[in-house]
Structure 1
Amino acid sequence: MHWDRQNANAKCTMRWPPTTEFSYHPDKSVATNPIYEADAAYRILEAWDVLRSPEKRKAYDSRLQATRLKQDAVVNAEVDLDDMDYDEAVHAYSTPCRCGGRYAMTEEDLEYGADTVGCDNCSLRIRVLYYVVEGNEEEEI
């Protein structure tokens, strides 16, 4: 589920579901496809639950950002995570871009499997190479 209202405030999200949800509620609408209507109502309520909870919303936004970072894009270089600078204060890895900007990837991005990152100053992107360690297994990303 993707929401263009990522910056909607709590007041907006609290009043949003009743009118939207009722238009898809199986008891409140004349359904041409009852299965679709029930699924739509469920997805709306699920989205509302995420949007009204600051913790769930932050986790959703992080997963969405990581998904966007992992999408296929033109990659200008590959950089090993070990070659990047680590900032303990913000829990992020970074490396300079040739334009003078920086590529930065947070630990949270890495946890969600992101492997590409854009420069904060230009349109260049890099692929960050690292291993995911789970138990005794290592998987290269």
Structure 2
Amino acid sequence: MSETITVYDQIEIEDFVFDPTQRIFTYPCPCGDRFQIGLDDMLDGEDIAVCPSCSLMVKIIFDEDDLAEYVDS
């Protein structure tokens, strides 16, 4: 039995901001906070970023090759 996840939107990885210190990607959420996902989570195959302040989630559109430039930063 698999659970269906409803996402607010699908966003290209290029539209996210990467913080090399915390190793997270962020994107503005309509609630005023930011969707967040860790680089390590994405390397493990995760593609859903969540907002810590509300229940919204977005799917990140990326290829694993897109992450290579962030791994060494």
Whole-angstrom CA distance in 1 between matches of 2:12 and 2:28: 13
Secondary structure of the structure 2 residue equivalent to 1:90: coil
Q: Which has the larger radius of gyration?
A: 1
Cα-Cα RMSD: 1.2
Q: How far does residue 72 in structure 1 lie from its aligned partner after superposition? A: 3.5
Match 1:101 to one of 30, 33, 55:
33
Greater relative contact order, per chain length (Cα 8 Å cut-off, separation 6+): 2
Gapped runs of 5+ residues in structure 2? 66-73
Q: Which residue of 2 aligns with 1:113?
A: 45
Whole-angstrom CA distance in 1 between matches of 2:49 and 2:26: 10
TM-score, normalised with respect to structure 2: 0.79
Gapped runs of 5+ residues in structure 1? 1-70, 134-141
Deviations 1:67-97 (A, max 9, x none): xxxx641011011111101101111110110
Secondary structure of the structure 2 residue equivalent to 1:108: helix
Whole-angstrom CA distance in 1 between matches of 2:38 and 2:51: 14
1:14-53 matched pairs, under 5 angstroms: none
Percent sequence identity over aligned pairs: 24
* Higher fraction of strand: 2
Q: How far does residue 117 in structure 1 lie from its aligned partner after superposition? A: 1.9
Deviations 1:23-77 (A, max 9, x none): xxxxxxxxxxxxxxxxxxxxxxxxxxxxxxxxxxxxxxxxxxxxxxxx6410110
Match 1:127 to one of 51, 55, 59:
59
Whole-angstrom CA distance in 2 between matches of 1:72 and 1:113: 17
TM-score, normalised with respect to structure 1: 0.43
Task: Count residues in correspondence.
Answer: 63
* Higher fraction of helix: 1
Q: Runs of 4+ in structure 1 displaced over 2 angstroms?
A: none
Whole-angstrom CA distance in 2 between matches of 1:73 and 1:117: 12
Whole-angstrom CA distance in 2 between matches of 1:72 and 1:84: 24
